Structure 1
Amino acid sequence: MDVPRRGMRVGAAVLVVGFTGAGVGAGEATAANDVVYPPGTLEPALSRLASLDRAALRQVIVSPMDSGATAAQVRVSGAEGRWLGTSGVADLRTGAPVPADGRFRIGALTQTFIATVVLQLAAERRIDLERPVQHYLPGLLPLSLGPVTVRQLLDHTHGLPPVPHAVRSASWFFEHRFRRWSPRELVALAVSGAPRFVPGTRQEEGDIGALVAGLLIEKVTGRPYGQAVRERILAPLHLRDTSVPGHDPTVPGPHARGYESVAERDGATRQVDVTEANPSWAWAAGEMISSTADLDTFLVTLFRGGLLPPEQLEDLFRVPDVPHVSGGRAVHSAGLTRVDLDGLSLWGRSGAFPGSTSGMVATRDARRRLVFSLNTLRMDEARPALADRVLRAVFAPRASQT
């Protein structure tokens, strides 16, 4: 569906905000994922943050179109209760409001699920993180690339060349959006190139590590990686909004539609509906669908050791001490990214899919958590500024530390 922008007035943004938690007033409740903490027991990370400013959050997301997005869903959970906010429109043609329980494509957040399953298999001694991937998947990677350990695969220090379409342009997407890709085809496209660096010496995030990890899960378990994710994570946590779609191009259940802003030759701009697409070109690196509620449940359970024993939970947060290819030191662990904000270390993951940008971020103790989805209009742009404004509004430091 094409929605012309010139000469058409898009309906006014709709803001719906829900509150639950201590001090909210009528209808207050404690979020199901949270424990009740006695007064005065704040852990260091939470004690360094300002009280959650709900008015500031409302203001940040009230007009997503001003920031290049058609819709926003934001969920903040933790020791201070829960805040839910939606804004924008779910459909540019009808002006329908954004559903608070809307589902969306989570992009690279899929890789946190992948890493969790690999670490579970490591805990079961079915995978050795220090053993080369070539031991489990002989012939998948050319000998010229050298041995790559499973740990290096997870923490992006593998040095494998990227998938050629990893930086996806709108033109590439429109040409291939309904094509069926096989994971081995994607890996073959990547490893035909030269290695980026000697494994273990630098860090560079990309899709190739998760693609190989997905194949590793399938080799070790003898079943599709999606089945392993469903049996090990989705079913035990009752994540009913979360799915591994395979070749299904649709988004099931309530959702906001995604669009791409396309310039015409005459200078006009139209919004092309990109909601439906075969996600197999992302596969284990970014095909999953979820909701803010399900991702919050996954995040808090993961951080609090509900999915991994202590040794593997430590692996989840271990960042290798190597340089990052873009400068500075490494920031990615096995499935997560460390975000340093005003001197406070946060942990989470960001993801993107045509028409959508999403993220999940939390303090290490999981006592303040953020999950969001933004329906962005340009798939070739970096993470939108609106995402950073939401992040800073949720994790603002106490005034004495500014």
Structure 2
Amino acid sequence: MSRTASLLAAALLVGLVAGPSAHPAAASAPTVPAAAQVSARHQDSGLAAAIAGLPGAVATAALVRVGGREGVWRGSSGVHDLRSHRPADPDARFRAGSVTKVFTAAVALQLAAEGELDLDRSARSYLPELIPASYGGVTVRQLLDHTHGIPAPDFPGTTVEEWYANRFRVHDPEDMVRSATSKEPEFAPGERQHYLNIGYTIAGLLIERVTGDSYEEQVARRVLEPLGLRDTYFPGANPRIAGPHNHGYQRMRLDDGTTGLRDVSVWGATDAWAAGDLVSTTADLERFTQELFAGRVVRGPLLKEMFTLPEVTDFRSGKPAAYSVGLSMKELGGREVWGKTGGRWGYNAAIASTLNGSRTLVYSVNSTDAKGQDMNKVAQDIMVAAFGRP
């Protein structure tokens, strides 16, 4: 069977005030009462303020979990959807976007520890029929730390409206690799860093090649099941989020020619696959983050790969590399914070932790421009409230 065929086969009450919205139902919707509710040992007014006042112009809902030895905080704000204005479900599933890469990297590192994958071996040596000789020098580690130099594949459309029109298109990972590798390299392997999905698309295929199993089954067997992540799954070609979820909205041009919010909860994610199609919850991602940083997902010396930045510069900005194998690093509040953000239309997500696990953060923000060039304001405020300013 072809791959395409198989893909088809609140410590605190937070007051909610209906903010301005171009969505036709939002204009007449009543103001709703508070939606955040869960007990906590530690209250953080900064976090409460970060998610107050939703829905608003930049987000319709937010779910937050802070953990670790420094204190625990839980909060949710906003609405389940802009038609009913029911309070947001704090246990809802959401699209985690590029947080998926952390799961992919973890499985690849497990396989490396078992001798099934060699991080210093070329990707072409595992997939000779797919990776051309022009990319023969790209190693497995370079795929995982974004220093491979392979450009992005071509996708139909250049605007959000065009991408929305193609939201049900099923993308085959091997076809995406062929599209990308048919182009000239952006730079020689290992010389620069360019954050793109394509390295993790190839990594997913490498996992399948060396295990003889599907990428999804390997992540389930090696991570989801051992950690009891029962609300985390891979959607395949199904464009819907299974189970309870808060709706995602994207600001775009509507059918009547005006600009407003369109419900984009139903949108296929096969273009991201092993780089960004995971669906999860804040509770599951918090458990995964805590176990990962405690060394109970990737065990032994290979865990260091996730906390080692390559000594190169960014392809576009010229700044020092910010991405390791699976994670990224920022200095916040005077200390290193490691984690990963992700974005799919209508949804922003993140996992983050101090290196010693003393403070962890997971959030889901239903952003109205989830794939914009700048970080969503609500998400940014959550991150700063949790860890401090850069």
Match for residue 4 of structure 1?
23
Equivalent position to 1:16, from 17, 20, 35:
35
Equivalent position to 2:91, from 92, 96, 101:
101
Code of the residue aligned with 2:386 in structure 1: it is V
Equivalent position to 1:364, from 352, 355, 363:
355
CA deviation profile, 1:217-237 (whole Å, cap 9, x unmatched): 000111110000000000000
The alignment covers a number of residue pairs equal to 368
The two structures have a TM-score, normalised by structure 2, of 0.89
Q: Which runs of 5+ in 2 are unaligned?
A: 1-21
1:319 aligned onto 2:338: no
1:202 aligned onto 2:202: no
1:145 aligned onto 2:164: no
Counterparts of 1:160-309 in structure 2, within 5 Å, are: 160-165=150-155, 169-264=159-254, 268-309=258-299
Equivalent position to 1:92, from 69, 82, 92:
82
1:374 aligned onto 2:365: yes
Code of the residue aligned with 2:357 in structure 1: it is A
Match for residue 333 of structure 1?
324
Q: Write the distance in 2 (CA, Å) between the matches of 1:224 and 1:7.
A: 43
Q: CA 1:133–1:167 in structure 2 vs 1: closer, same or farther (change >3 Å)?
A: farther
Residues 168, 379 of structure 1: 8 Å contact kept? no
Q: CA 1:259–1:357 in structure 2 vs 1: closer, same or farther (change >3 Å)?
A: same
Match for residue 382 of structure 2?
390
Q: Write the distance in 2 (CA, Å) between the matches of 1:388 and 1:291.
A: 19
Code of the residue aligned with 2:23 in structure 1: it is P
Residues 161, 253 of structure 2: 8 Å contact kept? no
Q: Write the distance in 2 (CA, Å) between the matches of 1:381 and 1:77.
A: 28
Residue 210 of structure 1 deviates from its aligned partner by 0.5
What percent of counterpart residues are identical? 40
Residues 258, 376 of structure 1: 8 Å contact kept? yes
Q: Which has the higher contact order (CA 8 A, sep 6+)?
A: 1
Code of the residue aligned with 1:17 in structure 2: it is A
Counterparts of 1:122-137 in structure 2, within 5 Å, are: 122-137=112-127
Residues 93, 279 of structure 2: 8 Å contact kept? yes
Which is worse superposed, 385-394 or 266-275?
Answer: 266-275
Q: Write the distance in 1 (CA, Å) between the matches of 2:307 and 2:81.
A: 38
Q: CA 1:387–1:241 in structure 2 vs 1: closer, same or farther (change >3 Å)?
A: same
Q: Which runs of 5+ in 1 are unaligned?
A: 25-52
Q: CA 1:363–1:89 in structure 2 vs 1: closer, same or farther (change >3 Å)?
A: same
Which is worse superposed, 67-76 or 258-267?
Answer: 258-267
Q: CA 1:351–1:14 in structure 2 vs 1: closer, same or farther (change >3 Å)?
A: farther
Residue 172 of structure 1 deviates from its aligned partner by 3.1
SS in 2 for 1:391: helix
When the two chains are superposed, the root-mean-square deviation of aligned CA atoms in Å is 2.2
